[in-house]
Structure 1
């Protein structure tokens, strides 16, 4: 496989790891709350990311590059947007099924493509644009699968949370891609790992200070729940390492569109959790797969 296509298996493995991480975080939300479960992702992911960076630096024989002002600004923007997106995602999961919440988040590729073009000047090809559009249509079908009369206030609030979370994740993806490109020339894996460590450090500090000021009980709870949190932290750090490597290899729009396979993976998780999924939601997931296929074949 050529380096140009390496982003495909990297993104697929990242999707598997992220699905596992999201399921673990959903379970932690019941005991730690939304912000506490969000904090776990960054607090327990940071040590693993540092180990990854040290191993990569040792293997390549190169010192990690020092992010300049532009890289730091883009990283901070992506880090804060990801905090908000993660919190809204977990809040949405409390009202709707795991699979449907993940699907609502996946309006992200269109927003990533638009933001990537506006901020980084990365224009998608016609084939990629068609794939993104078809996959997003599938997301819309999944999100609106229930008849209007069956939607409760909690459902509508959850849809809003999911769509807003998708927008914030789009901002974070473009921010991270831009930060990696702003680094001095180094191997893609080293650049990705450098920005990942910087991102998790910012996120850990911000959320630790926030919880210390607003909810110390939740902060203490995240420290006490270290056993399940370490697993979630490792899954998150591993997935993020691969996401960032994907961003180093190709456009954020390509990576986030292929990541729509998470919707199908989430359906498998929902089946294990015995959560009902409507036929129209399954039809929407089929469109998502068609859109992903169009992206890969363009």
Structure 2
């Protein structure tokens, strides 16, 4: 099995864990605070990770450049806004379905990858991604009678549009991060991804701290008081991000994000066993389609 496949599965698991912890934090923090903790408590870990790679693995530091800075800022800002939308989405519908809406990202990431990086997909890969997105659409209408009218309403309703927007911005962020990592002339993909992660999370922390100071300084106190839970979110988030960044430095964004849909398996498990939410047969069928799309992707890539 290729390295990027294993790394992506680990990234999907850690991202689901981070999202589950963030959903829990929404009961004590606002949307901005719950979004901030993944960066604020994560960036020290990212810096330690880079230092460890340098001192123990002997990897040299890559030279930063203007192209890297541009893509890092674009990716960092996009991820902040996408995360805020996703955390807000959790309050509109159950955990599994809220996450599912954002999983239209692979198609959007493929489009952005083509436009910004000139990356092309095989016809088989496109078909596999479409199968996965159909699974997402099935999940979106699982709580209502199946019809074209209901399908259109589900995909154009407020919850759907927020989820799709979140997926689109996450897609932009992913392509920007791959561009940033590839712009570095580092020793290898692991160090390039690690330096990108450390720079981006530090920038995101400073940006969001300034934002909260201007808009709601009291939220900072809540973030500090919830340090036990928030630190877990930060650790899970930065670990997942390290895996995502490394996978995207090794493989095209569309392939990585399509395989990353395996997160929905972890999401449904969390929805049932942690949050005690009821899952319908249609949602299970949609999840199976997503898994089918993933398997087809690995065969037809």
User: Please, what TM-score do these two structures have when normalized by structure 1?
Assistant: 0.94
Identify the match of residue 19 of structure 1 among 11, 16, 19. Answer: 16
Alignment CA distance shift 1:150-1:33 (3 Å):
farther
Q: Find the aligned partners of 2:248 and 2:230 in 1 and give their Cα distance.
A: 26
Q: Find the aligned partners of 2:226 and 2:107 in 1 and give their Cα distance.
A: 37
Query: Per-residue displacement from partner, 1:28-48 (whole Å, max 9, x unpaired)?
Result: 112111000001010000011
Query: Per-residue displacement from partner, 1:90-147 (whole Å, max 9, x unpaired)?
Result: 1111121111111111000000111101101110112211111111111111122232
Query: Per-residue displacement from partner, 1:4-52 (whole Å, max 9, x unpaired)?
Result: x100000001111111111001111121110000010100000111111
Q: CA deviation at 1:202?
A: 1.2
Query: Per-residue displacement from partner, 1:146-184 (whole Å, max 9, x unpaired)?
Result: 32799999x943222211111110010000011111111
CA contact (8 A) 1:92 1:159 kept: no
- The answer to whether structure 1 residue 277 and structure 2 residue 279 are counterparts is yes
Q: For residue 228 of structure 2, what is the aligned residue in structure 1?
A: 227
CA RMSD of aligned residues (A): 1.9
Identify the match of residue 48 of structure 2 among 47, 51, 54. Answer: 51
Q: Find the aligned partners of 1:288 and 1:8 in 2 and give their Cα distance.
A: 16
Q: Find the aligned partners of 1:218 and 1:48 in 2 and give their Cα distance.
A: 22
Q: Find the aligned partners of 1:182 and 1:140 in 2 and give their Cα distance.
A: 36
Identify the match of residue 57 of structure 2 among 57, 60, 77. Answer: 60
Q: For residue 85 of structure 2, what is the aligned residue in structure 1?
A: 88
CA contact (8 A) 2:60 2:186 kept: no
Aligned ranges 1:9-158 → 2 under 5 Å = 9-147=6-144, 156-158=157-159
Aligned ranges 1:189-200 → 2 under 5 Å = 189-200=190-201
Alignment CA distance shift 1:53-1:185 (3 Å):
closer
Q: CA deviation at 1:54?
A: 0.6
Secondary structure of the equivalent of 1:181? helix
CA contact (8 A) 1:112 1:253 kept: yes
Q: For residue 214 of structure 2, what is the aligned residue in structure 1?
A: 213
CA contact (8 A) 1:104 1:159 kept: yes
Q: CA deviation at 1:63?
A: 2.9
User: Please, what TM-score do these two structures have when normalized by structure 2?
Assistant: 0.94
Q: CA deviation at 1:67?
A: 2.2
CA contact (8 A) 1:12 1:259 kept: yes
Query: Per-residue displacement from partner, 1:228-248 (whole Å, max 9, x unpaired)?
Result: 111111111111100000011
Q: CA deviation at 1:287?
A: 0.8
Secondary structure of the equivalent of 1:275? coil
Q: For residue 294 of structure 2, what is the aligned residue in structure 1?
A: 292
Q: Find the aligned partners of 1:32 and 1:224 in 2 and give their Cα distance.
A: 10
Q: Find the aligned partners of 2:214 and 2:63 in 1 and give their Cα distance.
A: 31
CA contact (8 A) 2:60 2:187 kept: no
CA contact (8 A) 2:138 2:283 kept: yes
